[in-house]
Every structure is written in structure tokens, then in C-alpha cells.
């Protein structure tokens, strides 16, 4: 989805030609996976951080064009809305002090963007859903002026048969409304964790990422409010799922937890992309099919909460990575990197167990755990491996004390690094204070003042202190 297109209008011939190329590239990927074209891979970590631009009143500031033009940094790119930016970092092999290197890079990029935003009377904010965002902000006028976003909106509208989006989120309160376009998606900002994996182990890592999604979303929840309503701990989950609804079945939801674990090959997901999902952006490209341009573009329009990605290094060598999309942005860089450390450690430990965890937890239960965790956070009651039932905070503490450290040690992360980053998770669990918990506590003390909440949040974010240390 990061690829720009020349025009938002497509002909029937464009769709036919795109599908033909998608078919060929899917067959080629299958052959490459079977023939050992992908070399053995080191575990490499990376991220994408989606952020908000916020004005002095705490409202979204639609000025990303001004920032991007002056910044001219390939690590900072536009997002769907003019009030969002995406910050990227250089990936790092997960050994030694890799986590601190990733954090240092993100802090540098964040600081440069924040200083530039300040020149235009704005600040950066990393939070799952900005409390002050309104439906008026989520309008086509605030869409970044790129053809791919216009085309995406038009194609989703076409698949819905011209019907508006009927939104219905029931949490602590219930919010129902109707919206006409894809801009709702821009209200959901995340910290997407990337992990390069060996093709031979991809199924194990992918299934483990699904199982781990529930603890991850509970531990990082930071999106309790939408349009002033108190909903889920991580309201971003149902909002994103409903924001790109096209009247689909469980088999064709564009944002989905999935319908089962993988059984044999990561290829099953790319076959499902080809067979089950209508093409949204039939942009025809001149790149060699060995770069999989059409397969990668199509995959970018299917937003699984855990998504496989095919990529290439600077020498053109292919790799496979998993994009773990369940974690919201924020509250600060150190919180984000601690979340990544927990994910890297636990997913590695789960993936290397003698008995695969997917044999010890039904898929339906892993999916149920995920939505319970998004709704109730650390207070969710879940079922874990071998039928164990427990509260989510108890489970996270158990994973922290065993699998997270075990996995990071096996990767070769330095002991001081492990203690630094998992210590942040430990203090968060001891305090019970996630971003969502802090936001609700602030509202309970000060009233439902979304501007006041946003400004207080940004003030604490500017301190750089992790969320477990935030005061009211």
C-alpha cells in the first residue's frame, strides 16, 4: 500500500490483466518457497510507527505535506490522513543491543519530526485513537493527496455497492453512527512490529504470533475513547475492522484475525489472497514478476492482524517477515520498544517449543482471547495452553517471567538489554497502568474533557517517562 499509482480509475481490462499477473506471481512464489530460493534467514526486527499531528488546541492538524516537504526523509512517509505520519526505522538483527539501536533510531526520527511540526504550531502524538478526533476531521478533505488513497476509497465503495458504513461498537458504552468513506481507518494508529523469519519456521512463528496477539493487545492497549464514547480498552480493533467493511463473509474480511491456524505453509495465505479477495487496486507495473509487485500490492490491501510480507534486501535477496499489527501507537518510544521486546522474546519461545502451542490451544479460543483482550485489557478472562483459565494480567506476568526472557536469551540479546526492556513491561504490570487505564483514570478525575485529556497526554509523552510512571 506504500506504492503510489498514476490514476484512481481502472478499466475491466486492468482488473483482468492484474489478476493474470497475480496468478503468475503466486505460482512463482510457491515455486520459490518449495525450491529453496529463499536463503536461511537471521531473525531481524523492525517497526512502523503511525503518529498524529496535533495543533495547540489538541485537535488533529492536517499539515503532513508541509512536514514531509521540509523533512525529505525516506524513513518518514505520508499516511491516509493529512494529520498522520508514518515513521520507520532501519531493521536490526536481533542480537546484542539491537533493541536499544532500534529505539535510538526511532527517538532520533521522532525528535526531528516533532521539532519540525513545532515550526508549524503542531506536535506529534503517539496514541491509538486521538481523543479529540471527530467525524468532521475524518472527511475526504483531510485525505492525503495521493492517488492510491483515492482509489482505495473508490474501490471499497464499489465493493459495498455504494452503501455507507454502518458502525456499531459496544463496550462500556455503545457508539453507533454511519460514515461514507475510508477515512475512518485514519483514526487508528499503530506500532507495527516486523520480524524476519526463516521460511522453514514461518508456520510456527505465524501461528505463535496469532496466539500471542491477545497478551500483546492487552498489555499495550491505548485506545479507550472514540468520539467521546468509552468503548474497548483497544477500540482501534473493532474500529479498523468495521472501517473497511465491504459486506463480506468471514472468509473475505479485509481486516481479520483469520479463520484457522496455518497447517503446512505460509503459502496458504497468499493462495487465500488470490482466491478469496477481490482486487482493489489493479495497478499494472513494469517490474519483473520476480519482484512480486502485484502480489505484494494485493497483499497490502488485506490487513490481517498478523500479515506475511515478502521483501528484498539491497542486493535483491528475498526474505519473508511477519508483520504483527495488533499493538497501538505509544505511549512513548520506550513503551513501544518494550512491547516489541516482549513480542520478540515470547514469539521465539513459543515457536521453538517441542510441542507446538497451536496443538495446545484451539484456534477459536485464540481468536476469542484476542477480542476479549482488546475489549477488557489486562482484566480479560482467557483460556491459555492446555485448558488453563486465568486473568490476562496473570498470564502476562507468567509470560514475562519465563518465555519472554527465555526467547530473548536464545536470540542472543544481551542480559542488560533484556532487563532494560522487559523491566518496563514488569513495571507496567505491577502498576496495572496501560495507556488505556491512564486515560480512563484521567477522565474519572478531571471529567470527560477530550481536549484536556489530549493535552495532558502529550505533556506526559513529552517527558519521555514510560506510561507506568505517569501521574494524573
Report the number of distinct structural domains present in the chain: 1
7 falls within a domain? no
Which of the pair, 5 or 134, is modelled with greater confidence?
A: 134
CA atoms within 13 A on the CB side of 347: 34
What pLDDT is recorded for position 251? 83
What pLDDT is recorded for position 247? 77
What pLDDT is recorded for position 6? 62
3 falls within a domain? no
Binning pLDDT at 50, 70 and 90, where does residue 381 land? very high
What pLDDT is recorded for position 3? 61
Residue 2 pLDDT exceeds 60: no
Residue 34 pLDDT exceeds 90: yes
Average confidence (pLDDT) over 260-276:
96
CB 384 within 8 A of CB 390: yes
pLDDT tens digits, one per residue of 215-227: 999 999 999 999 9
Beta strand pairing call for 84-88 and 76-78:
antiparallel
Domain CATH for 172: 3.30.590.20
Crossing angle of the two packed helices 333-351 and 415-431, in degrees rounded to 10: 110
6 falls within a domain? no
Residue 1 pLDDT exceeds 70: no
Average confidence (pLDDT) over 314-336:
97
Average confidence (pLDDT) over 235-245:
96
What pLDDT is recorded for position 7? 60
Average confidence (pLDDT) over 130-142:
97
Residue 376 pLDDT exceeds 60: yes
Instruction: Determine the Cα–Cα distance for residues 340 and 87; give it in Å rounded to an integer.
Output: 15
Average confidence (pLDDT) over 433-441:
98
The lowest-confidence range among 13-27, 142-156, 352-366, 431-445 is 142-156
Cell numbers 502498576 correspond to what residue?
A: 431
Instruction: Count CB neighbours of 429 within 10 A.
Output: 18
Q: Bridge partners of 54?
A: 60, 123
472 falls within a domain? no
Residue 5 pLDDT exceeds 80: no
pLDDT tens digits, one per residue of 58-102: 999 999 999 999 998 999 999 999 999 999 999 999 999 999 999
Binning pLDDT at 50, 70 and 90, where does residue 431 land? very high
What pLDDT is recorded for position 8? 64
Residue 365 pLDDT exceeds 90: yes
What pLDDT is recorded for position 4? 58
Minimal CA–CA distance to 210: which of 144, 157, 263? 263
Instruction: Determine the Cα–Cα distance for residues 346 and 405; give it in Å rounded to an integer.
Output: 8
**HEC readout, the chain:** CCCCCCCCCCCHHHHHHHHHHHHHHHHHHHHHHHHCCCCCCCCEEEEEEEEEEEECCCCECCCHHHHHHHHCCCCEEECCECCEEEEECCCEECCECHHHHHHHHHHHHHHHHHHHHHCCCEEEECCCCCCCCCCCCCCHHHECCCHHHHHHHHHHHHHCCCCCEEEEEECCCEEEEEECCHHHHHHCCEEEEEEEECHHHHHHHHHHHHHHHHHHHHHHCCECEECCEECCCECHHHHHHHHCCCCCCCCCCCEECCCCCCCCCCHHHHHHHHHHCCCCCCCCCCCCHHHCHHHHHHHCCCEECEEEEEEECCCCCEEEEEEECCCECCCCHHHHHHHHHHHHHHHHHHHCCCCCHHHCCCHHHHHHHHHHHHHHHHHCEEECHHHCEEEHHHHHHHHHHHHHHHHHHHHCECHHHHHHHHHHHHHHHHHCCCHHHHHHHHHHHHCCCHHHHHHHHHHHHHHCCCHHHCCC
Binning pLDDT at 50, 70 and 90, where does residue 262 land? very high
- How high is the mean pLDDT of the chain? 96
Average confidence (pLDDT) over 433-439:
98
Find the domain containing 116 and state its range: 12-467
Amino acid at each position: 500500500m506504500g506504492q503510489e499509482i498514476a490514476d484512481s480509475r481502472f478499466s475491466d481490462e486492468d482488473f483482468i490483466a492484474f489478476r493474470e499477473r497475480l496468478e503468475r506471481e503466486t505460482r512463482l512464489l510457491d515455486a520459490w518457497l518449495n525450491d529453496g530460493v529463499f536463503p536461511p534467514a537471521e531473525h531481524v526486527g523492525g517497526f512502523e510507527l503511525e503518529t498524529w499531528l496535533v495543533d495547540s488546541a489538541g485537535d488533529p492538524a492536517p499539515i503532513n505535506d508541509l512536514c514531509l516537504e521540509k523533512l525529505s526523509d525516506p524513513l518518514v512517509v505520508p499516511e491516509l490522513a493529512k494529520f498522520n505520519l508514518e515513521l520507520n526505522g532501519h531493521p536490526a538483527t536481533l542480537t546484542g543491543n539491537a533493541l536499544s539501536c532500534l529505539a535510538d533510531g526511532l527517538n532520533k526520527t521522532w525528535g526531528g519530526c516533532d521539532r519540525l511540526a513545532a515550526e508549524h504550531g503542531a506536535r506529534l502524538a503517539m496514541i491509538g485513537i486521538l481523543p479529540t478526533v471527530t467525524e468532521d476531521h475524518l472527511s475526504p478533505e483531510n485525505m492525503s493527496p495521493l492517488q492510491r488513497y483515492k482509489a482505495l476509497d473508490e474501490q471499497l465503495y464499489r465493493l459495498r455497492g455504494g452503501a455507507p458504513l454502518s458502525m456499531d461498537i459496544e463496550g462500556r458504552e455503545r457508539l453507533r453512527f454511519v460514515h461514507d468513506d475510508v477515512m475512518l481507518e485514519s483514526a487508528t494508529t499503530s506500532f507495527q512490529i516486523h520480524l524476519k523469519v526463516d521460511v522453514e519456521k514461518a508456520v510456527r512463528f505465524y501461528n505463535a504470533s496469532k496466539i500471542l496477539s491477545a497478551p500483546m493487545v492487552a498489555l499495550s492497549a491505548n485506545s479507550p475513547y472514540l468520539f467521546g464514547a468509552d468503548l474497548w480498552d483497544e477500540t482501534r480493533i473493532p474500529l479498523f475492522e468495521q472501517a473497511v467493511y465491504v459486506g463480506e463473509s468471514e472468509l473475505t474480511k479485509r481486516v481479520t484475525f483469520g479463520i484457522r491456524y496455518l497447517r503446512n505453509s505460509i503459502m496458504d495465505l497468499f493462495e487465500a489472497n488470490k482466491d478469496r479477495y477481490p482486487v482493489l487496486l489493479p495497478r499494472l507495473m513494469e517490474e519483473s514478476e520476480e519482484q512480486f509487485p502485484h502480489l505484494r500490492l494485493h497483499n497490502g490491501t488485506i490487513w490481517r492482524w498478523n500479515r506475511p510480507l515478502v521483501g528484498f534486501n539491497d542486493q535483491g535477496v528475498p526474505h519473508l517477515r511477519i508483520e504483527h499489527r495488533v499493538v497501538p501507537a505509544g505511549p512513548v518510544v520506550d513503551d513501544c520498544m518494550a512491547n516489541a521486546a516482549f513480542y520478540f522474546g515470547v514469539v521465539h519461545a513459543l515457536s521453538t517449543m517441542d510441542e507446538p502451542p497451536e496443538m495446545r490451544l484451539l484456534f477459536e479460543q485464540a481468536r476469542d482471547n484476542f477480542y476479549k483482550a482488546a475489549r477488557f485489557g489486562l482484566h480479560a478472562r482467557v483460556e491459555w495452553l492446555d485448558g488453563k483459565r486465568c486473568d490476562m494480567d496473570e498470564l502476562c506476568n507468567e509470560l514475562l517471567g519465563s518465555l519472554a526472557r527465555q526467547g530473548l536469551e536464545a536470540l542472543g540479546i544481551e542480559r542488560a538489554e533484556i532487563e532494560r526492556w522487559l523491566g518496563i513491561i514488569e513495571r507496567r504490570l505491577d502498576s496495572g497502568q496501560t495507556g488505556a487505564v491512564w486515560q480512563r483514570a484521567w477522565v474519572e478525575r478531571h471529567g470527560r474533557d477530550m481536549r484536556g485529556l489530549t493535552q495532558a497526554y502529550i505533556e506526559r509523552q513529552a517527558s519521555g517517562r514510560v506510561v507506568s510512571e505517569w501521574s494524573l
